[in-house]
Amino acid sequence: MRWKKFLAVMLATAMTCNMTGVSVAAQPAVMGSFFQKIFGGDDSDKDEGAQTDTQKKTRSQAYGSGGSSKADSVTLDIGQGDILISGKEISGYDTEGNQVTKTSPRYVVTGSTQDHSIKVADGANANIVLSNVNISRTGEGQSPFEIADDSDGDVSVTLEGTNNLQAGDGAAAIQKSGTNGKSSSKSGQLKITCGNTSPGHVCDSSCGTLVAAGGEGAAAIGGAAGKGTSKIDIAGGTITAAGGIGGGSGGEGTKMEFSGGVIDAGTINGKTDGKDNVLNGDVLLFADSTADMKLKKGTVYQRGTGTGTVYGDTEWSQAMVDHLVATGGTMDIPAESKAAVTVDGATDISNLAFTENSQVKVDTSKIPAATPAEQAVAQGDAPA
């Protein structure tokens, strides 16, 4: 409505200096009300005997490291059967039911199932894209995505579209376990990212999503029940981890890094006798607590207290602002953090409070321009 544009012009005039980063405490208390709110199984393999020779044709590509182009990819359909990736070969099926046995630099997994899982063998390196995957395992100990215990292979997981992984009791949704409740310093790395490698990228609504639900006693991402985990880097994507991230019950998580994305982790089950895990990137982390995590760069929101804190010279994407607005609470953006936190001037942030002297910028360029008639009203040259 035009009266909203009129208010926007008045607000833009009042906030011209805010792009230089003045304190929220110095802004009008009614700032937020003028913004336009924008919110709106069975583990058996596929029966090869029932397939024809044509259906059993294979694809052959040399194995490579992560970062390969899409042209090098092989698409695997989890709905057709289990996917097992080892160092020298794989076992899986394409979207037409053809068997795939040769390795590739990049596997794009798609499809839905209640009967099959993705498994990465001991010592295997793998570059896997989850593209609109839905896997729900309900049997005890069944994981939809399992890396062999104590494996020293590196596994990269890229999120595309919307993905859902549900594990059975005792299993993690993306399982990377160390034995005996401990994590191994010799284990390989699990890296989860949105796949956008552009310099300075901050995850937004275009990035892939993952909802991972661990079974009873297990983490959502990390260790199975009673087992630890190590070397997990979450670098991008919008991730909800029901069951937490780190070790399973009785286990611990070490050498974990949160460096990008919007992560609703619940519990961070890490090592408590040293700052072995780190927050270090343009990341928004929702967590019950951060235990002894090193807080170098990023934003942590603790649901239990309804408060969030910005660390280091971090940046918010509009998607991060949207999540914080939807959650509400109080944000602390201290001047010493040197944070480049910018709020879109078209966003209603009245649901958020800021501690005194918090540093935040308002991007007035996003406020809709007024018509000439509305400008005349603002200047007193025409009736309202």
Copy the structure tokens of residue 117.
């899982």
CA–CA distance, 300 with 185 (Å, rounded to integer): 27
pLDDT, averaged per 10 consecutive residues of the chain (384 residues), comes to 38 36 34 28 39 35 42 92 92 96 94 98 96 97 96 96 98 89 70 89 93 97 94 96 92 92 90 78 90 88 89 87 87 76 69 77 59 55 52
178: helix, strand or coil: strand
Q: Report the 10 Å Cβ neighbour count for 149.
A: 17
Radius of gyration for the chain, computed over Cα atoms and rounded to the nearest angstrom: 24
Nearest to 36 by CA among 353, 349, 380: 349
Nearest to 171 by CA among 206, 207, 116, 213: 213
CA–CA distance, 42 with 151 (Å, rounded to integer): 24
What pLDDT is stored for residue 102 in this prediction? 86
What pLDDT is stored for residue 197 in this prediction? 81
DSSP for 275-311, please give it.
--SEEEEEEEEEES--TT-EEEEEEEEETTTTEEEEE
Quote the Cα angle for 214-220-226, to 5°: 75
CA distance to 122, 289, 339, per residue, from 281 (Å): 30, 18, 12
Report residue 336: phi and psi, to 5°.
-70, -15
SS (H, E, C) 309-355: EEECCCECCHHHHHHHHHHCEEEECCHHHCCECEEECCCCCCCEEEC
End-to-end CA distance of the chain: 13
CA–CA distance, 151 with 148 (Å, rounded to integer): 5
| Residue recorded with tokens 């926007």 | 8
How are strands ordered across the β-sheet holding 83-85? 99-100, 90-93, 83-85, 118-120, 145-147, 174-176, 221-222, 245-246, 268-269
CA distance to 82, 120, 281, 360, per residue, from 156 (Å): 19, 11, 18, 35
Copy the structure tokens of residue 306.
């309804």
Nearest to 224 by CA among 243, 204, 205: 243
What pLDDT is stored for residue 258 in this prediction? 96
Copy the structure tokens of residue 108.
């794009």
99: helix, strand or coil: strand
Could you tell me whether strands 162-166 and 245-246 are parallel, antiparallel, or unpaired per DSSP bridges?
A: unpaired
What pLDDT is stored for residue 152 in this prediction? 92
What pLDDT is stored for residue 32 in this prediction? 33
The per-residue pLDDT for range 40-67, each reduced to its tens digit, is 234 433 343 333 333 333 333 322 334 4
